[in-house]
Amino acid sequence: MMRASLDDYELDEDDYALLADDYELVEHAAVAPRPVLAIVGRPNVGKSTLVNRIVGKRVAVVQDTPGVTRDRVYYDAQWADRDFTVVDTGGWEIDVTGIDRSVAVQSEIAIENADAVLLVVDATVGVTDADEHIVDLIRRSGKPVVLAANKVDSPQQEADAAYLWALGLGEPFPVSALHGRGSGDLLDQAMRILPRQSQVNYERPGEGPRRVALVGRPNVGKSSLLNMLAGQNRVVVDDLAGTTRDPVDELIELDGQAWTFVDTAGIRRRVHLQRGADYYASLRTQRAIDSAELALVLIDASVEITDQDLKVMQSVIDAGRAMVLICNKWDLVDEERRRYLDREIERELVQMPWVERINISAKTGWHTNRLTRAMEKALESWDKRIATGQLNSTLGELISAHPHPVRGGRQPRILFATQVSVQPPRFVLFTTGHLDHGYRRFIERRLREQYDFTGSPVEIAVRARERRKR
Ligand code: GDP
Ligand code: GDP
């Protein structure tokens, strides 16, 4: 498995860039905050369809953790060379007894957390009270807005959309989210109103204290733990170099080292919303994860692990952040519950055996001194870089001992591998053909055994390349 053998294969420019010796490792933490576009409107007007169109294939990513449905709120998108974030308010459970109120609360939260708003109305239905209500919310927010008249599937229907001028939001853009018609013009306009500099997205500086998000479903003990840590330890207030001035964050010194706990305001603020509380919690959780390097995922060890716990963990993995699992309320765990918990973890978290778990009690402070060691360990894995020579010699031995099974008379081979980024570690394997899912897992497992990526997700991408025709 030599780099020279790669010359026999069809490589493109990107490949050569990846292979270049001085290839600069990409660090996600250096990414500038993207402006946020919220897609709002009443149910069934086509918001989710439009988000799918804007975001492209990424929404359709297959979930391989059973029982976990993807309900992201935030998506990364690109249009006309600009990167931005789309917030989807579609697909959320609607309470049949109070449709309008629940939609309004979700829209209000989404609008408040956006730099600009894209309002979707169904041009085939006309303006309803619910539409008017959302228009009011947008107006009061003072945020820039673009109006999409959706379900205009043919040119003949276009004239019908003209009555939407009456909403007073400027020109209605007729689109068909389903077929893509008009979506280019709509997005061009969205880019015109979307500021380049986000006012709502967090800055994620590459230096200064490491950034930690404390996440988990409601009542697992996040604010108790935060208060305990902030109470027992020094809350750093002086002007540390590289420190963000973001008032929602908090600097806490643990074992002599400062950490930035992100969005502590969001943890301390009790949300008294009757409806929309879950939506608010998801939104907050995702933003906190996105703005952190490491997520401490809290679960309540005294009760059964829930889907919501798993979703939070999946969000951390999707975002590519380091993670530590904290089983809180250990003072309530007896011998029997402990056995059940072990079994639940074995069953539910099979896909993430690399996550370190620590048991604590935020109430009594028991074992909270174990936090920093696990946090440092996870970040060390997250930052880890394996030299190309070392990586290829590890894989060479591995592959000769355990070659890929023969498939349809062919046996794909790995020609060369390189680590293309850190935070989290991401590897690209150049191969002579498609690798089985199981074989990729096997490689990931062995890389983890060899190099120890405890606490960090690891991505492995495969680039199958054809042999050059001579
Ligand atoms: P949401 O509740 O606002 O997220 O709406 P959805 O995206 O789930 O769409 C509701 C329904 O409208 C679905 O059956 C879609 O297939 C349909 N729909 C969405 N966009 C269009 C469109 O441009 N034209 C037509 N004819 N139907 C659409
Ligand atoms: P949050 O919603 O995740 O911020 O959870 P809170 O910190 O508000 O905690 C929810 C409830 O669990 C409160 O009544 C806490 O007193 C309780 N709680 C938190 N941590 C512990 C713990 O370690 N042991 C016990 N017994 N109760 C706890």
d(CA 226, CA 330): 16
Which residues, judged by CB distance below 6 Å to any ligand atom, belong to the binding site of ligand 1?
41, 43-49, 90-91, 150-151, 153, 176-178
Domain presence at residue 198: no
CB 249 within 8 Å of CB 243: no
> Which run of H or of E encompasses 258?
strand 257-261
What average pLDDT does the segment 33-47 reach?
A: 88
User: 373 pLDDT band (50/70/90 cuts)?
Assistant: very high
For the stretch 331-370, pLDDT in tens is 999 999 999 999 999 999 988 999 999 999 999 888 878 8
Assess whether 8 and 141 both reside in one domain: no
Domain presence at residue 177: yes
User: 67 pLDDT band (50/70/90 cuts)?
Assistant: very low
Q: What is the CATH number of the domain that holds 126?
A: 3.40.50.300
Domain presence at residue 455: yes
d(CA 190, CA 314): 30
Which residue shows structure tokens 């109103």?
193
Residue 82, token pair as written in the block: 């600009």
Query: Could you tell me which residue, 182 or 55, shows the higher pLDDT?
Result: 182
Identify the pLDDT of residue 368.
78
Query: Could you tell me which residue, 31 or 142, shows the higher pLDDT?
Result: 142
Assess whether 46 and 176 both reside in one domain: yes
Local structure of 397: helix, strand or coil: helix
Pocket test for ligand 1, best of 40, 49, 106 (most atoms within 8 A of CB): 49
> Which run of H or of E encompasses 462?
strand 459-464
**137 C-alpha vs ligand 1 centroid, how far in Å?**
23
**39 C-alpha vs ligand 1 centroid, how far in Å?**
13
Q: Please state the atom number of ligand 1 nearest to the C-alpha of residue 90.
A: 4
Assess whether 61 and 184 both reside in one domain: yes
| 69 has a pLDDT exceeding 90 | no
Containing domain of residue 448, as a range? 2-24+385-464
Q: What is the CATH number of the domain that holds 7?
A: 3.30.300.20
The closest residue, in CA terms, to atom 25 on ligand 2 is 329
Domain presence at residue 201: no
> Which run of H or of E encompasses 38?
strand 36-40
Assess whether 399 and 334 both reside in one domain: no
Assess whether 99 and 48 both reside in one domain: yes
Residue 85, token pair as written in the block: 């974030």
| 33 has a pLDDT exceeding 50 | yes
Domain presence at residue 113: yes
Domain presence at residue 431: yes
Assess whether 222 and 257 both reside in one domain: yes
d(CA 426, CA 386): 10
**Beta-sheet pairing, 116-122 with 36-40:** parallel
Q: Is any atom of ligand 2 closer than 6 Å to the C-beta of 368? A: no
Domain presence at residue 324: yes
Mean pLDDT of the chain: 83
For the stretch 308-337, pLDDT in tens is 999 999 999 999 999 999 999 999 999 999
CB-count exposure of residue 227 (10 Å: 0-12, 13-18, 19+): middle
The C-alpha angle 28, 32, 33, rounded to 5 degrees, equals 105
Report how many domains make up the chain. 3
Assess whether 226 and 365 both reside in one domain: yes
Q: Please state the atom number of ligand 2 nearest to the C-alpha of residue 216.
A: 3
Q: Please state the atom number of ligand 2 nearest to the C-alpha of residue 360.
A: 23
Amino acid at 266: G
Which region among 25-29, 109-113, 219-223 has the lowest average model confidence (pLDDT)?
Answer: 25-29
Helix, strand, coil percentages in the chain from 3-state DSSP, rounded to 5 = 40, 20, 40
Domain boundary among 133, 160, 193: 193
**129 C-alpha vs ligand 2 centroid, how far in Å?**
41
Domain presence at residue 244: yes
Q: Please state the atom number of ligand 1 nearest to the C-alpha of residue 88.
A: 4
Assess whether 235 and 106 both reside in one domain: no
Model-level pTM? 0.69
Share of the chain above pLDDT 90, in %: 42
Assess whether 166 and 39 both reside in one domain: yes
d(CA 424, CA 421): 7
Q: Is any atom of ligand 2 closer than 6 Å to the C-beta of 266? A: no
Domain boundary among 382, 398, 419: 382
| 235 has a pLDDT exceeding 90 | no
Which residue shows structure tokens 């680039």?
463
Domain boundary among 356, 382, 408: 382
User: 456 pLDDT band (50/70/90 cuts)?
Assistant: very high
Tally of CA atoms within 13 A in the half-sphere of 350 that contains its CB? 8
Q: Which residues contact 365 (CB under 8 A, 6 or more apart)?
A: 228, 232
Q: Is any atom of ligand 2 closer than 6 Å to the C-beta of 284? A: no
Assess whether 330 and 364 both reside in one domain: yes
Local structure of 304: helix, strand or coil: coil
Query: Which of 13-22, 382-391, 408-417, 444-453 has the highest average model confidence (pLDDT)?
Result: 444-453
Assess whether 345 and 331 both reside in one domain: yes
Q: Where does 233-348 have alpha helices with state H? A: 264-268, 277-291, 307-318, 335-348
Q: Is any atom of ligand 2 closer than 6 Å to the C-beta of 363? A: yes
Strand order in the sheet with 426-431: 26-27, 414-422, 426-431, 459-464
Tally of CA atoms within 13 A in the half-sphere of 321 that contains its CB? 31
For the stretch 195-228, pLDDT in tens is 988 887 665 555 678 999 999 998 999 999 999 9
The DSSP bridge partners found for residue 327 are 299, 359
| 90 has a pLDDT exceeding 80 | no
User: 1 pLDDT band (50/70/90 cuts)?
Assistant: very low
User: 240 pLDDT band (50/70/90 cuts)?
Assistant: very low
CB-count exposure of residue 49 (10 Å: 0-12, 13-18, 19+): middle
**156 C-alpha vs ligand 2 centroid, how far in Å?**
59
Q: Is any atom of ligand 2 closer than 6 Å to the C-beta of 362? A: yes
User: 432 pLDDT band (50/70/90 cuts)?
Assistant: confident
Assess whether 170 and 253 both reside in one domain: no
What average pLDDT does the segment 153-175 reach?
A: 90
d(CA 376, CA 412): 38
For the stretch 382-426, pLDDT in tens is 999 998 888 888 998 888 899 899 988 888 888 888 888 889 999
